[in-house]
Amino acid sequence: MLHIALAKGRIARTVFTRLQESGYVFPEYSKDSRKLIFTDEAGNLRVTLVKSPDIAVYVRRGAADAGIVGNDVLVEDEEQDVYELLDLGIGRCRMAVAGIQGHQDVMQKRILTVASKYPLIARKYFADRFQPIDIIKLNGSVELAPLVGLSDVIVDIVETGTTLKENGLEAFDYFMNFSARLICNKVAYKMKHEELNRFMEAVKE
């Protein structure tokens, strides 16, 4: 049996749809279910739903043979102990530096205060531009930070830009493209290569 870890939400819904279209049957799965583990009717595939930042941990430590996660997580965590096998084309987005609309001049400050869920990526971006920063790591709604005076700008994932606009923010710069990737445990890659190939055929675009 192949064990797959999936991020909850849109990635999981899209992957389950592709699997079902390829003939996999999950009797207990529905998009509204609160279950976290699903096994297909034939007993060939088990899917576990976990939070996105935990997927690489599951895969690296062998709790899952493979996983599907946005490569923003892989870049931020500098994950090197898994194989990246496939770009699934799900959840395409970009990293952006954003701030309050009409206040792009804030980027000229001598030391910029930056709020982000991605401190490593943010630090590298500004280091490449020789811009000193004070970084604030946030886990919640990063868009709030400039609005309440916590930071000058944010560095965050942007898909359409709607959330930024609705909160009076705008992107000052876009950099790095991201999407969902299939990653694999190094041992499983050798031991379950055939199963992995079947799975890739089922979920790829």
Q: Which domain holds residue 119?
A: 93-177
Same domain, 6 and 81: yes
Residue 142: predicted pLDDT: 96
Angle at the Cα of 46 (from 45 to 49), degrees rounded to 5? 140
Same domain, 194 and 135: no
Distance CA 58, CA 69 (A): 11
Residue 110: predicted pLDDT: 95
According to DSSP, the residues that pair with 174 across neighbouring strands are 96
Distance CA 124, CA 137 (A): 14
Give the tens place of pLDDT for each residue, 135-189.
999 998 999 999 999 999 999 999 989 999 999 999 999 999 999 999 999 999 9
Residues in the chain, pLDDT under 50: none
Distance CA 14, CA 1 (A): 21
Same domain, 81 and 131: no
Concatenating the DSSP letter of every residue in 68-83 gives EEEHHHHHHTT--SSE
Angle at the Cα of 67 (from 62 to 72), degrees rounded to 5? 120
Closest CA to 66 of 80, 51, 45: 45
Cα 96 versus chain centre, distance: 15
Q: pTM (2 decimals)?
A: 0.88
| Domain total in the chain | 2
Query: 197 — phi, psi (to 5°)?
Result: -65, -40
Same domain, 135 and 171: yes
Residue 91: predicted pLDDT: 87
Same domain, 86 and 97: no
Say which CATH number the domain at 53 has. 3.40.190.10
What angle, rounded to 10 degrees, do the helices at 10-21 and 193-203 form? Answer: 100
